[in-house]
Amino acid sequence: MAEDSEDAKKIEIESPNHFVSSSILLFLDNLVVSVSGWVYWLVISKLALASEIGAAVTLYSIVILVTTLTQLGFEYPLLKKSNIRGSRILGTSFLIELILTLASIPFVLILINIGYSESVKQFTWISIPLLILFSLEFIIRFALYGISKVRTVLIIDIIGLAIKLPTGFLLVGMSFGSLGILLAYLFEVLFVFFALLYSIKNSTNFRLGSTEYFKETIKDALINTPAKWSKVIIVSLTVVLLAPMNVDSSDIGIFYVALMITIVVASFATSMAYMVIPSSSSLKTDLSSSSLRISLSVTAPIVVVLLLVPESVLSLIGAEYVSAGQVLLVLAMSIIPSAITINSISMLNNLGRSKMLIMTGIVQIATFLTCFFIFVPLYGILGAAISILIAYLSSSLLFLALMDRRSHKYIASACISVLGGFIMGHVAGLVTSYEYQLIVIAPSIIISLAIIFLSKNMTIKETKFLLKTVIKRR
């Protein structure tokens, strides 16, 4: 109890830039980007031919995949060191990323021109500026996160979306097809890159570090690469790998929608895990247990809803997605383990446990790929969901051995909260024959929150304080 009250005191003592309010702003940013992405493709699908969308998506996916690979794990050294006075992490990381990106260009050109049809090849030229801008924008973005300027990034992203959406709709409506779709992305990232660059130029510097500093930065990024790539494999390559496994394209689309729902829910924990690093660096103490506690407490009631009425959640997107109810159910079970994993990665970064970072990333990748090639042939997209669940369970169980008793208590309380809410909702569902969704959901959320508050994972006073902080920030 005393340790819990200490955590609450830390939140109250911390400056307005505390990681909680910054995390919520980052979550809102991710949410806005995700929702606008859905809107963009929904409208584009009505204006463009399927072949035009396919060509644009293929090229865009190649660019995103390559940029993600060249980014290594630079977000973590940027988050840790950007707020240090006189830090040279931005200039150093920027130059390294530029070199990596330029080196990747020949491979991208070869890949597109050898492996794809003319419908994709004709837009090879636009892949180069997209590749460079996405990579360098990533570096500046995380440097701004490191100095807690999340609100600035949110505003810039919203303006960027206000550029992309109408531009894309206009160009595609004027029969520019694939080119119009890709140009909209190019105009957006051009604005975002230069706006972020302008925002950070007065806050930090682009000076380069010494040779030793370069080596240290590259080492730090490489240490975090396996964990970063494991996420890429689970989120991105899962969808790509389903087609060669003879999974029907409609099932792949349904799986993708279910996966995106869980990613959005889990992104709150991801935001917390990212933003706790700058605060831990400033205070010279590991606050990741606080991040774990708050993110699990907020996420648990949402997980309960996904577990109880997955079909109803999917029906909000479209009736054709309801068939993925079991898939969403399994993926929802992976949210808590994924939250534990991402917060534990932050903990290991704060504590400098490099060997464990590398090992857990490798374990997660190996576990996922092994399960994927076993379960997908047997169960299709449900097998893919099971593979994701097992991968996150394996990494979270590995991290449990490293955590203190306080963190174990937070995790146990969150799990009991989910279980209690699920049982309550299931009982309510049996009584009402699941005819009234609100009667099923409402008591389950109340029980889940009650367990969170009774277990002191979060107090009502602390919740009010956090809400007040967010309102003030706005």
Asked if residue 35 is part of any domain, the answer here is: no
Please say if the pLDDT value at position 431 is more than 80.
no
Asked if residue 114 is part of any domain, the answer here is: yes
The answer to whether residues 212 and 260 belong to one domain is: no
CA angle 294, 295, 301 (to 5 degrees): 100
Please say if the pLDDT value at position 2 is more than 50.
no
Q: For residue range 81-137, what is the model confidence (pLDDT) as tens digits?
A: 777 776 778 888 888 888 888 998 888 888 777 766 676 777 778 888 988 998 888
Please say if the pLDDT value at position 239 is more than 80.
no
The three-class DSSP label of residue 397 is: helix
Place 191 in a pLDDT band, splitting at 50, 70 and 90.
Answer: very high
The residue-averaged pLDDT of 270-296 equals 77
pLDDT at residue number 376: 83
Number of domains in the chain: 2
pLDDT at residue number 435: 66
Last residue of a domain, one of 208, 223, 238: 223
The answer to whether residues 71 and 125 belong to one domain is: yes
Asked if residue 21 is part of any domain, the answer here is: no
pLDDT at residue number 15: 40
210 vs 416: CA distance, rounded Å: 50
217 Cβ contact partners less than 8 Å away, ≥ 6 residues apart? 74, 77, 89, 92, 93, 96, 209
Q: For residue range 25-34, what is the model confidence (pLDDT) as tens digits?
A: 787 888 888 7
Place 12 in a pLDDT band, splitting at 50, 70 and 90.
Answer: very low
The answer to whether residues 137 and 194 belong to one domain is: yes
The residue-averaged pLDDT of 271-279 equals 78
Least Cα distance to 217 among 205, 225, 228 occurs for 225
Q: For residue range 131-183, what is the model confidence (pLDDT) as tens digits?
A: 899 888 888 888 888 887 888 888 888 898 888 888 888 887 787 777 888 88
Q: For residue range 313-322, what is the model confidence (pLDDT) as tens digits?
A: 777 776 777 7
Asked if residue 321 is part of any domain, the answer here is: yes
The residue range of the domain holding 110 is: 48-223
Place 240 in a pLDDT band, splitting at 50, 70 and 90.
Answer: low
Choose the weakest-confidence range: 4-13, 59-68, 343-352.
4-13
Mean pLDDT, the chain, integer: 78
405 vs 410: CA distance, rounded Å: 9
Report the share of the chain in percent with pLDDT over 90.
Answer: 1
Asked if residue 407 is part of any domain, the answer here is: yes
Could you tell me the pTM of the whole model?
0.76
Asked if residue 23 is part of any domain, the answer here is: no
The answer to whether residues 190 and 311 belong to one domain is: no
452 vs 412: CA distance, rounded Å: 10
Last residue of a domain, one of 223, 239, 264: 223
Most confident of 7-21, 211-225, 327-341: 327-341
The answer to whether residues 378 and 309 belong to one domain is: yes
The answer to whether residues 361 and 459 belong to one domain is: yes
Last residue of a domain, one of 175, 208, 223: 223
Asked if residue 398 is part of any domain, the answer here is: yes
pLDDT at residue number 468: 67
The answer to whether residues 124 and 1 belong to one domain is: no
The answer to whether residues 262 and 336 belong to one domain is: yes
Please say if the pLDDT value at position 473 is more than 60.
no
pLDDT at residue number 8: 43
The residue-averaged pLDDT of 287-301 equals 81
Q: One-letter amino acid identity for 392?
A: Y
The answer to whether residues 363 and 397 belong to one domain is: yes
Place 17 in a pLDDT band, splitting at 50, 70 and 90.
Answer: very low
Please say if the pLDDT value at position 11 is more than 50.
no
250 vs 252: CA distance, rounded Å: 5
The answer to whether residues 136 and 198 belong to one domain is: yes
89 vs 207: CA distance, rounded Å: 8
Q: For residue range 346-387, what is the model confidence (pLDDT) as tens digits?
A: 777 777 777 777 887 888 888 888 888 888 888 888 888 898
Asked if residue 216 is part of any domain, the answer here is: yes
Please say if the pLDDT value at position 21 is more than 80.
no
The answer to whether residues 268 and 215 belong to one domain is: no
The answer to whether residues 208 and 256 belong to one domain is: no
Q: Report the C-alpha dihedral over residues 100, 102, 105, 106, rounded to 10 degrees.
A: -100
More confident residue, 105 or 457: 105
User: Are 48 and 181 spatial neighbours (Cβ–Cβ below 8 Å)?
Assistant: yes
pLDDT at residue number 472: 57
